[in-house]
Each structure stands twice: as structure tokens, then as C-alpha cells.
A and B are shown apart, each in its own frame.
Chain A
Amino acid sequence: MQQEQFRESKELSSLSVMNFEISDEQKLILDVVDEACKKIRPIEDKCYLERKFNDRVLPIFKEAHLLGLPISRKYGDGQGADALTYALALERIGQEGTGVRTFLSGHTSLGQLTLQKWGSEEQKEQYLPKTTRGEIIMAFGLTESTAGSDPASLKTSFEPSGNYFHLNGSKAWISNGSIADLHVVFAYPKGKSEGMCAFLVEKSSEGLEASAIKDKLGLPTSDTGLLYFSDCKVPKENMLGPPGKGLSVAYSALMSGRLSVAAGCVGVIEDCLKETLSYAQQRVQHKKKIGKHQLVQRELAKISVDLETSKLLTYKAALLKSKSDIKPEDAELRNDADWMIAQAKYYAANASFRAADRAVQVFGANGFSFENRPARHLVDTRVCRIYEGTDQILEQKIAVKLLGNEYEAFS
């Protein structure tokens, strides 16, 4: 009887298609990422305390072939990884801090992947190899000082002039904004509020100025910039994607961007848990290690549950994204991926903020210093609940998928 049951359960288990095992190849890639991250950590520690941009992230990621992980091998040092493998790498990178991960989100998830998806073959051949080799850094210029959650209200405009477009306006809160060599920029035709277009704008373009935003709450080691366009000359062949399809370009980019935030936040929670566990096993109060105090155990348990939940959501979202990338014509699959990515980003961003807060609490007064990692995570991960879709925008997006498009709040 027992044998029969065993045989039956074995047969049933072969029907299962769920699989969250990491392959041997993915483990090796993660070893490479881990080695690069270990090189970055002491430099990042120093830069953080000096509140200085970490300029070693680029050369170290370049050496480790991580500047084009999900980009096709056709283009320079592109590695051709699928969305899940890339997410696993970002998860490990996220442990080093949201600043380090944000660099890659700007360069790869929002920049390179958008160019790869929407660019003409000429545009891809012109720019992508240089981006994967680290010769040029990318950024994504959608947000403006008066257009955040409502990208349709942006004011930057373009008008044709001979072989060029002239761009006028500004962009704000752009990750990598003041260090990037190539920006994906969104603008409306002059005098119109529809027909948005996307452009590839080189740093050296006449009429473009960029500056770094100072005095941020967090992310002191990564660049956040302002861009100013004053009759900025962009060659006509640098329009990205079909004319008038700028919003589609932006929304597809945000899928990749949000997934990268979710994966990075999983890494933040992992680091918070690691730091908190280690501290709870060393710190002695009331003559015993604080890990023996049940209220501290509760904090550890809550971080752990948030970690596992965030992981499962993020991996599921990444798997759906991988499937959607293979079948881009399947709109239903793309919508499912978009929805799951929104949930993963929403949950992981909040969970990472909770984890950092709990880690600070367990560290007590020591948690209040940037000398210790939880404090850095607390201020750095806060932005993850804002950029690439605020909590509120994502809540609305998640609910509308359930209710139907007629419940769209902003239509």
C-alpha cells in the first residue's frame, strides 16, 4: 500500500512545472557577481561615509562582464541572460546597497533594454556595444519636476528643424543623469499633449546641460541628475521607436525598471537579515545574547518572512517577464508580467524598508549610525517606494487589473 502511494506521489510530482531551483550555470554567474560585489564593498563603505559618488562600480562591473548581462551577445560584451538570471544578479548586487543597484537599473534595465527593444538595428549597432563595454553609460529621462506619477503631463517638447529635432524643457531625478553619455528622453511635439516620442540624446549634444542633485535623503554614492534642454539638437535618426509611441516605450521600460527594483530590494532584505542575525548572535544585554530575547526573535522572523515572500513574487515576475520576452506578440502574457512585476516591486520595496527599519531597531543606538549597514539601507531603500511607480500608483495599477479598465482612476 505504502509503495503504491509512493509511486502515485512520484507520478504526480512529475506533473509539477513550478521550479525555483537555481541552475549550476546560474550559481556560477552568481559567483562572478559575488566576487565583483566583494571588490565593491570596501570602496562603497568609504564612499558612503564621505557621501561621494562611487566611481569604481563601473570598472568593476565592466571587468566582471556585468554591464550588459541581459543584452544580446551580438552587441559587444552583452551576455544574453534571461530576465530571471539578470534578476538574480541584481538581487546579489542589491545587498551592496540600493545606490550600487540603481546604477545598473539606470544603465541596463531602463537604458540598454529599452534601446534593445525599441531601437533600429543601426541605433543598436551604434550604441549598444559601447554600453556593454562600459564606454558609455546610459540613463532614462522621463520624470520632470512637475511630471512624476503622471508622465502624460510632461512639458518637454520637440520640433523638427532640418535634419534635427530641437528639444526644449528639463528632466529631474534621473538616475545616472549627470554621468550618463546617452539618455533616453521623452518629449511631446511642440504645442501638443499627445503623440509623445522617445529620443536617444548624446551627452555632447548642443543645448544639453546636466547637473547632479545634491542633499538627497539617500543614495549618496550613486548619481541622480537634472537635465536641461535648450534647443538641444538631436539628429532625426535618433528618434527611438515609432513616432507617437513614446508612452509605450516608457511603459515597457518601466516593466524592466520595476523588476530591477524588486530584485534589488530582495538583496537589501537579505543583507538586513544577515546583519541583524550576526548582531543578535553577538550583542549581549541582560547577560545574554539579544538573539535569545523573544522580541528580537520576532523582528528576525518578520524580516525572514518578508524576504521569502519578496523572493517568490520577484522570481515569479521575472519568470513571466522571461516568457514575455520570448513571445513579445502575446499581449496577455505581457499584461500578466506587467501586473506581477508591479506586485513584486510594490511588495519588495515596502518589505525592504520594513526590514531596514527592523534591523535598525535590533541594532539599537548602533543602528542610528551610517557606520552600520542597516542605517544606510533605511534611507536608501526609501526611494524604492517612490521611483519606477509610487506605492499609490502601483496599488491602483494592481487593483485595476482585477476590476477592469473602466475602473482606471486617471483615464
Chain B
Amino acid sequence: MVEIIVCFKHVVDESELKVDRANNKINFEGAKTKISDDDKNAIEEAVRLKEKNGGTVIGLCLGKADARKSVKEALAMGCDKARLLSDPAFQDGDAIRTAYVLSQAIKRIGKYDIIITATGTTDVYSGIVGPALAEFLEIPQATFVSKVALAGDKVTLDRLMEEGVETVECDLPLLIAVAREINQPRFPTLIQIMSAGKKEVVEWKASDLGIEASTVGKNGSLVQVTSTQVPKSARKKILFEGSASESSERLADALLKEGVVN
């Protein structure tokens, strides 16, 4: 039996975003929302571990009220219950403040063996929340995890390194930040979607977690996001003239020189 808490984020679907080329700003208006892609890998791994070893999975999501949609999806994927951390005070916090809020919620939940996060989220991909959360909870952590094998109180993990795989062993409890290569997240069935609505979802605000509102969210953050812009991609627009064979040779030379092909 293993008690798992899996953290996931409700984000804007990046494939739906439009860029206003006049000012290079991202237009978030009307964009769909979803569970961050890599967080689905985290949920999938949590559910697989539960299916194999028994136990429960609690989904933990920090987001606005519309994050209930993502919470329901996580429940449909196999989480047994969920906690939604929704308070205006939590909004626009940096990675450290987000990790702090999650840590307070996990302390309130109490019992756990494994906490699973993604290595990063598709919106900002700081890669900090998982490790910072482990620090707040004073438990060991492993990032870029591509394989988890649980045996008693010990867990063996494969970590994806740049050139190779590192295998580590660790005692429970611990935090695992998974790599997207770890699994292929499942699509929930209709009956799982329907039964998700009957599972327990509790919403917690800052006061429920003993958090002073001014210490979290935008006000409590050391990092402030002042604007979000898309980098300008200036094109060289070089025209090669001459016969087809001449111009294609010059094009090939230019591509080699620019390092586009090698």
C-alpha cells in the first residue's frame, strides 16, 4: 500500500495561443485550458503505482476556480480524491511561493509516502517547484525520473541524464519529479469521467492552510513577471538568383554555413 500525492497545474493550452504581431504579445483571450501535459505523466505514474501496489492517490492542484475542470480530469484518470488550492491570494506567485503553498497543503493532508510532480509545466517550465517543495517538506527528491520501482520502504529510480541513465535508490518518503518519457498518459473512459464527479474534492483557501495572504502569490514573491512577449524572429530573406542548379547549390552552402543542416 502506498500513499501518493500528485501535484498538477491547470494551464492555458499553448497550442491555442495567438500572437499579436503588432506588439509581439501573447493573446490569452478565449484560449482553452488544460492540465499541463507533463503533469499528466505525473498523474499517470501515480495511478500506475497505486494500481500495482494498492493505496490511494490524492490530486493536488493550485489554481483559480476554473481549475475544477482539470481536477475532474485528474480524478477521471484515477486519482481517488483531490484538493484544490484556490484563493486570489495564491495567484501569480513565483515558483518558490507556489511550492510553499503546496507544502502547507501537503502538511495538512498529513500522511504520504511519495509526492509526484512533473519536472516542469508547459506554461513557464521553471523546473523549480518540485525540488523546492521537497526542501520545504525536508524530504529527499529525484528529478528527471523515467522509471519507478517500489519494493517495501525502498524505491529504485531511473533518472534521465543528458547522456545516459542514472539509477538511484531511496527510502520513503520522497518526492519524484518525472520526465515526460516515463509513460504515456491514459485517456479516461466515459464511465471514469462520469464517476469523477462523485469523488471527494475539497477546496482550501490560505486561511485553511494557516497561510498569511500577504506572504504568498504576487505580493509574497521575489520574482515578478512584468510582461510576456514572444521573441522576434527576424528572417534574413536572402534571394538566390541564377539557374535552378546554381541557386540550389548556393542555398545548400548558405544552410551549411548557418548550421541549419550539417
- A interface list, Cβ under 8 A from B: 24-25, 27-29, 31-32, 34-36, 38, 63-65, 69, 73, 77, 79-81, 85, 278, 282
Q: Number of A-B pairs whose CB atoms are under 8 Å?
A: 45
Inter-chain pairs besides A24-B69, A28-B72, 14 sampled, C-beta below 8 Å: A25-B193, A27-B69, A28-B69, A28-B76, A32-B193, A34-B32, A64-B187, A65-B187, A65-B190, A69-B190, A73-B191, A79-B190, A80-B191, A278-B18
Which residues of B from 164 to 193 have beta carbons under 8 Å from A?
187-191, 193
Instruction: Give 9 nearest A-B pairs by CB, closest first.
Output: A79-B190, A64-B187, A28-B193, A65-B189, A32-B187, A25-B193, A25-B194, A81-B190, A28-B73
The residue on B at minimum CB distance from A61 is: B187
* A36 engages B190 (CB within 8 Å): no
Given A24-B197, A38-B15, check contact A29 B69 (CB 8 Å).
no
* With known contacts A24-B69, A24-B72, A38-B15, A29–B191 Cβ distance under 8 A: no
Nearest Cβ distance between residue A13 and chain B, in whole angstroms?
24
Q: A24-B69, A24-B197 are in contact. Are A29 and B15 (CB under 8 A)?
A: no
Q: How far is the CA of A24 from the CA of B76 in the complex (A)?
A: 12
Nearest-CB distance from A340 to chain B (Å)?
Answer: 25
Residues from chain A with a CB closer than 8 A to the CB of B190 are: 25, 29, 65, 69, 79-81, 85
> What's the nearest-Cβ distance from chain A to residue B180, in Å?
15
Alpha-carbon distance A77/B194, docked complex (angstroms): 15
* Residue in A35, A73, A77 with the greatest tally of chain B CB atoms within 10 Å: A35
B34 beta carbon closer than 8 Å to chain A: yes
User: Min CB distance, A280 to chain B, in Å?
Assistant: 13
Residues on the B chain within 8 Å of A64, using CB? 187
Give the interface residue-count category, chain B: 10 to 19
Q: Which residues of B contact A38 (CB under 8 A)?
A: 15
| Most chain A Cβ neighbours within 10 Å, of B15, B76, B187, B196 | B187
Please encode chain B, from 4 to 23, with 1 for each CB lying within 8 Å of some chain A CB and 0 for all others: 00000000000100100100
Task: Please report B residues at the A interface, Cβ cutoff 8 Å.
Answer: 15, 18, 21, 32, 34, 69, 72-73, 76, 187-191, 193-194, 196-197
Query: Of A27, A36, A77, A81, which is in contact with the most chain B CB atoms at under 10 Å from its CB?
Result: A27
| Contact partners of A31 in chain B: CB under 8 A | 34, 69, 73
A81 to B191, CA, bound (A): 9
A83 to chain B, nearest CB (A): 14
CA of A63 to CA of B196, assembled, Å: 20
- Contact A79:B189 (CB < 8 A) given known A24-B69, A28-B76: yes
Q: Identify which of B187, B188, B190, B193 gathers the most chain A CB atoms within 10 Å of its CB.
A: B190
Question: From residue B213, how far is it (CB to closest CB) to chain A in Å?
Answer: 29
30 contacts between A and B (CB under 8 A): A24-B69, A24-B72, A24-B197, A25-B190, A25-B193, A25-B194, A28-B69, A28-B73, A28-B76, A28-B188, A28-B193, A28-B196, A29-B190, A29-B193, A31-B34, A31-B69, A31-B73, A32-B187, A32-B193, A38-B15, A63-B187, A64-B187, A65-B190, A73-B191, A77-B189, A79-B190, A81-B190, A85-B190, A278-B18, A282-B21
